């Protein structure tokens, strides 16, 4: 029963996120809005972590299953991709570098903020 209720909680947040995303004009993906809603629910105590732990662990342990459709799509379009392989490679490298830089600056900012808050105490 705990697995079914945990799955229901996660899916309910996903559906709510998709609905809110549509109401906002689809600017932010529904899955992202759903994750923010789940975070808020966990932080406020509306959802307890033990309620979703088993399902969340299962989903993250088997995350590669969710990437299979994307890999299959890439293989189906390999002829098109191979014609522009250098451009694709450049985009992948550039986006990877930008994500690494954004992550590093975010981490520095969080550490600086945490340091500032610790000094106030």
Going by the DSSP 8-state scheme, the letter that residue 46 receives in this structure is S
Mean pLDDT of the chain: 92
Q: What is the pTM of this model?
A: 0.63
Task: Specify whether the CB–CB gap between 30 and 44 falls below 8 A.
Answer: no
Average pLDDT of the residues in 92-105: 97
The token duo for 74 is: 């890439």
Question: Apex CA 89: angle with CA 85 and CA 93, to 5°?
Answer: 175
Check whether 12 has a pLDDT greater than 80. yes
For residue 50, the model assigns a pLDDT of 92
Q: Give residue-wise pLDDT tens across range 16-42.
A: 999 999 999 988 999 999 999 999 999
């Amino acid at each position: 029963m705990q697995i079914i209720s945990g799955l229901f909680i996660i899916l309910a947040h996903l559906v709510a996120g998709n609905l809110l995303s549509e109401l906002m004009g689809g600017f932010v993906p529904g899955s992202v809005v759903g994750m923010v809603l789940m975070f808020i629910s966990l932080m406020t105590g509306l959802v307890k972590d033990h309620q979703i732990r088993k399902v969340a662990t299962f989903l993250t342990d088997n995350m590669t299953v969710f990437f299979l459709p994307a890999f299959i799509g890439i293989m189906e379009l390999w002829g098109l991709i191979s014609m522009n392989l250098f451009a694709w490679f450049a985009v992948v490298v550039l986006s990877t570098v930008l994500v690494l830089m954004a992550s590093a600056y975010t981490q520095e900012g969080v550490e600086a903020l945490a340091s500032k808050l610790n000094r106030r105490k």
